[in-house]
Chain A
Amino acid sequence: EAQVTQNPRYLITVTGKKLTVTCSQNMNHEYMSWYRQDPGLGLRQIYYSMNVEVTDKGDVPEGYKVSRKEKRNFPLILESPSPNQTSLYFCASSLGQGAKILGTDTQYFGPGTRLTVL
């Protein structure tokens, strides 16, 4: 089954304790992205990756890191989490440049990770 998986689904942690949220897709997609969802703000992009070893900042990158060593995985790293990073996080993937020409680059989302930083 084609899907985007995230782990963990729920996480409660304390300020300053490094954590990683994993994201994996099995659709051979080039493009992957992380979003955070907050009430009244919709989804905002944190980081994205156009392909392996290519990453760039989205709209709200402060306090986050990412890496893209393999095509299927795109982990989100919080080196020193703070309470304002309490949020619902989504990973997404899409075909990327190949679909750009067709104008049909649909993004597929993971189930979400609810993070609470105390």
Chain B
Amino acid sequence: GNSVTQMEGPVTLSEEAFLTINCTYTATGYPSLFWYVQYPGEGLQLLLKATKADDKGSNKGFEATYRKETTSFHLEKGSVQVSDSAVYFCALLIYGGATNKLIFGTGTLLAVQP
């Protein structure tokens, strides 16, 4: 079936460290891939997306590349800040029949320390 697997958290980093949060997926067809971010006490916000293989999504210094050969969409940032502390969700969007179904990973908590 269709699924998303994210690395377990929490991920704890010092400010200015390099961030990688791994995400792999299983899907039939050609899904679109997303990273959503949830700041404390808030709803989910779209961080970035990629709609086809080799696309790179980027926003706020975060990047992720849609790798069809490894079925991955890892999130990276070169230098994290305390304000990046949040829960990050990888998700894929399946188009099929009557529904556009968004399937989420379990989320990865990132804590950045000063």
Given A50-B99, A105-B93, check contact A42 B42 (CB 8 Å). Answer: no
Kindly list chain B residues whose C-beta atoms are within 8 Å of the C-beta of A97.
100
In-complex Cβ contact of A90 among B43, B93, B101, B105 (8 A): B43
Kindly list chain A residues whose C-beta atoms are within 8 Å of the C-beta of B89.
42-43
Given A106-B34, A109-B43, A110-B43, check contact A56 B99 (CB 8 Å). Answer: yes
Given A106-B34, A109-B45, A112-B42, check contact A42 B99 (CB 8 Å). Answer: no
In-complex Cβ contact of B101 among A4, A41, A45, A112 (8 A): A45
Query: Interface residue count for A (Cβ, 8 Å)?
Result: 31
Kindly list chain B residues whose C-beta atoms are within 8 Å of the C-beta of A110.
43
Kindly list chain B residues whose C-beta atoms are within 8 Å of the C-beta of A99.
100
Enumerate chain A interface residues (CB-CB to B < 8 A): 4, 31, 33, 35, 40-45, 48, 50, 56, 90, 92, 94, 96-97, 99-100, 102-112
